[in-house]
Structure 1
Amino acid sequence: MPPQPCLNITSKPTPDPHFTYAHGKFYLTFTANDRIPMWEAPTLLDFWENPKIGPVWRPPPNTPHSSRLWAPELHALQGRWYIYYAAADPEKGNKSHRMFVLGGPPDSEDPHDASKWEFLGPIKGMDQRQWAIDGTVFELDGELYLVYSGWPVPPEREWDDVREDQQLLYIVRLSDPTTAASEAVEICRPDQPWEHLGHIGICEGPQWLEAPDGSWRGLVYSCSASWTKHYKMATLKCLGGDPLSPESWKKSSKPLLQNAEHGEGPFGPGHGCFLNFGSETVALFHATDKDTDGSQGRKCRLQIVEWCDEGPHLGEVVGNSTRDHDKFSEGLMLSVPDGKGADTDGHPSCILHALRGKTKSNT
């Protein structure tokens, strides 16, 4: 199957985009380094020119968590809003990155209110000696889990001897949104050529993805070097059983999404998130316009996920970039499954509604 067109969502850089839908609006957070930003808009297309913009939190200066704030994610868990993100000590730099949590208002309230957010600190119970970034939280079979990217745990936990050229994925069970209830378990390491750039092997940016009918569950993660055009995404299928067992996860044999060979871009697709609308799924990820952009100019793009017997499919390569949402919408499922404009979870019931704020029957 050929890839769907790639729809441009933001006109400004929004690296590591993470979207949440609640209260009739979409909320976007992304890496901004010195703050936790939050944008909101009634439709996905409104993020191009008309989002409401404003940070919800800035760390106090010169604290061990006031630098390089990366990959924030907004989650409604157990009745409250939380934001998970990585941050570093400005005096120590990247090697000091650890995972932190902010607590917000009840999830019945709008999260875009800076006065209602508080710093809750690092995730309690995590080994604070390990470098950790890109944490994501999801619920699986009634339990909460955190998956993050970390440098390898050295033998005998000799933390002065850490490989900084390798990033692995680890999973931790949570007893509540801010407390770890297990040791961290490695579930993915860069053992494939396409996860490497030279001697550097990277697995990061994990995101939970589940088919609308529950036929496939697992993680999509990013790999190779995020500062190059070689960045890409792959999958870890959840096979069932104990998620804390490495045998419960199966890596894909090839990338889920990467550059197209025609060289026209977008380039370096990675570190996105996924939204289900009724029976439809979209991937929202960052990519650059030029193959030489590096870490600059990483803007949010949208591409349709097609579900096959093997699981998610994105055409294997990034589709041609467009802002023509009418052209993009051709061939999509445009009907409203329940006839009310929203599914039972309150999400827009079709992709077109999410894009333009209205539905259109295909009959």
Structure 2
Amino acid sequence: MPTHMRCLFRRLLTISLLTLTLACQKTAAPPPPVTPPTLTTFTNPLLQAGPDPWVIRRGDFYYYMHTTGNNLTIRKTAKMSELGSAVSTVVWTPQQAGVNQRDIWAPELHFLDGKWYIYYAADPLCCDGHRLYVLENASPDPTTGTWVDKGRLAVPGQDLWAIDGTVLEQNGKRYLLWSGHETASSQAQRLYIAEMSTPWTLVGPRIELSRPEYGWEQNGSPAVNEGPEVLRHGNQTFIVYSASHCSTDDYALGLLTASATADPLRPAAWTKSAAPVFVKNPAGRAFGPGHNGFFQSKDGTEDWLIYHANAQPGQGCGDTRSPRMQKFTWNADGTPNFGTPVATGTALPKPAGE
């Protein structure tokens, strides 16, 4: 082939290849974006440590508290299944003027009469042990604003050892439930109720609703009824409480039942279940399950139980107790059916609406 023909051929071939390359670049589709899979499940425990868990929902957020021992901390989250990544805010510590307390236990956050209240137990370093106290906050968001100390919460003339305060509202009245001693020298813990005139004031009398009487309530020493929590369903009001000492693996949940229109100060209005309603699951690494709370799923269609438990036997009352949650159902007679503590690490569907 003549030289000028070879040059022309190479020139045409180069132009053809360049044209083909540009055409491919114009028509090739970009790679699709990588979308991470949406997680629809969660596993227990929610946190590595968190004794005495408590949850309340207001608006689009859940507010969670547990015993820290030395302060009051609130976690705020839109999704309970993501509690581990929730923003955590220390809202109060006892190192304030005029406050001398230690061993801060079982805080509960309640929204009453347009304000927030935290009920907690602490040892005032006097008076033979723990008492109940109340803080108030007028901010719409309990993780902001100023918490005002409203003082000690006790029935007039009966300033005795007391822990685990919670609020019951029934028949247009408000009541405090708690665990306390019958006398200053008594050690067994009983459940008491008294009417409230304000969120920080009790009016007498103090009425006993339950004491440790069954064998499953008397494991460990002293015998214990504590951690009362209110649950409503249909025309019934329930008090779900923790029984036996927290140092044992047999810490469990008991149940009191009354009509939703009954006078809660009348002991005869309450029926006590002879058997526990939630007990340990050694195979699922749930020892001493108890000190529970309740909440509904984001869409309001599911009822959920939150509680603490130890992952190993013999771990007792310390910070090894971790918060867990699981959905529960209702029996034909309207009582709650909590089932069995779900094994840690089990993939569970997230609460509906999350």
- Fold match by TM threshold 0.5: yes
Counterpart in the other structure of 1:235? 255
Q: Taking structure 1 as the reference length, what is the TM-score of the superposition?
A: 0.80
Of residues 87, 98, 102, the one that matches 1:52 is 87
Displacement of 1:263 after TM fit? 3.7
Which segment drifts farther, 269-278 or 12-21?
269-278
Displacement of 1:23 after TM fit? 3.2
Counterpart in the other structure of 1:103? 136
Task: Confirm whether residue 139 of structure 1 aligns to residue 169 of structure 2.
Answer: yes
2:302, 2:352 within 8 Å by CA — same for their partners in 1?
A: no
1:237, 1:251 within 8 Å by CA — same for their partners in 2?
A: yes
1:207, 1:273 within 8 Å by CA — same for their partners in 2?
A: yes
The within-5 A match list for 1:211-360 is: 211=233, 214-239=234-259, 240-260=261-281, 262-277=282-297, 278-294=300-316, 295-310=318-333, 311-315=335-339, 317-322=340-345, 324-325=347-348, 328=349, 351-353=351-353, 357=354
Counterpart in the other structure of 2:147? 117
Displacement of 1:127 after TM fit? 4.0
Displacement of 1:275 after TM fit? 1.2
TM-superposition CA deviations, 1:249-276 (whole Å, max 9, x none):
111121110112x544211110010113
Distance in 1, matches of 2:141 and 2:179, equals 30
Displacement of 1:126 after TM fit? 4.2
Distance in 1, matches of 2:58 and 2:92, equals 20
Which segment drifts farther, 61-70 or 291-300?
61-70
Displacement of 1:6 after TM fit? 9.9
Distance 1:324 1:112, change over 3 A: same
The within-5 A match list for 1:65-104 is: 65-90=100-125, 92=126, 95-104=128-137
**What code does the residue aligned with 1:97 have?**
H
Q: Which runs of 5+ in 2 are unaligned?
A: 1-40
Distance in 2, matches of 1:207 and 1:238, equals 14
TM-superposition CA deviations, 1:157-197 (whole Å, max 9, x none):
xx4xx221x10000001112111122110000000000012
Q: Taking structure 2 as the reference length, what is the TM-score of the superposition?
A: 0.82
1:236, 1:252 within 8 Å by CA — same for their partners in 2?
A: yes
Q: Which runs of 5+ in 1 are unaligned?
A: 154-158, 330-350, 358-363
**What code does the residue aligned with 1:352 have?**
A
Is the partner of 2:197 in helix, strand or coil? strand
Distance in 1, matches of 2:98 and 2:326, equals 39
**What code does the residue aligned with 2:56 have?**
T
Q: How many residues align?
A: 309
**What code does the residue aligned with 1:268 have?**
G
The within-5 A match list for 1:181-192 is: 181-192=203-214
**What code does the residue aligned with 2:197 have?**
S
2:284, 2:341 within 8 Å by CA — same for their partners in 1?
A: no
Is the partner of 1:241 in helix, strand or coil? coil
**What code does the residue aligned with 2:248 have?**
T
**What code does the residue aligned with 1:123 have?**
L
**What code does the residue aligned with 1:301 have?**
R
Displacement of 1:8 after TM fit? 1.3
- The sequence identity of aligned pairs, in percent, is 31
Is the partner of 1:268 in helix, strand or coil? strand
1:207, 1:220 within 8 Å by CA — same for their partners in 2?
A: yes
**What code does the residue aligned with 1:320 have?**
A
Distance in 1, matches of 2:60 and 2:266, equals 38
Distance 1:190 1:45, change over 3 A: same
Is the partner of 1:194 in helix, strand or coil? helix
Displacement of 1:51 after TM fit? 1.2
Counterpart in the other structure of 1:43? 79
2:107, 2:121 within 8 Å by CA — same for their partners in 1?
A: yes
Which segment drifts farther, 7-16 or 59-68?
59-68
Which segment drifts farther, 251-260 or 194-203?
194-203
Runs of 4+ in 1 over 6 A off after TM superposition: none
1:9, 1:44 within 8 Å by CA — same for their partners in 2?
A: no
Counterpart in the other structure of 1:346? none
1:232, 1:269 within 8 Å by CA — same for their partners in 2?
A: yes
Displacement of 1:323 after TM fit? 5.2
Displacement of 1:10 after TM fit? 2.2
Distance in 1, matches of 2:82 and 2:138, equals 25
Displacement of 1:9 after TM fit? 4.7
Displacement of 1:292 after TM fit? 2.7
Distance in 2, matches of 1:258 and 1:56, equals 33
Rg bigger for which structure? Answer: 2
Distance in 1, matches of 2:192 and 2:43, equals 32
1:64, 1:88 within 8 Å by CA — same for their partners in 2?
A: no
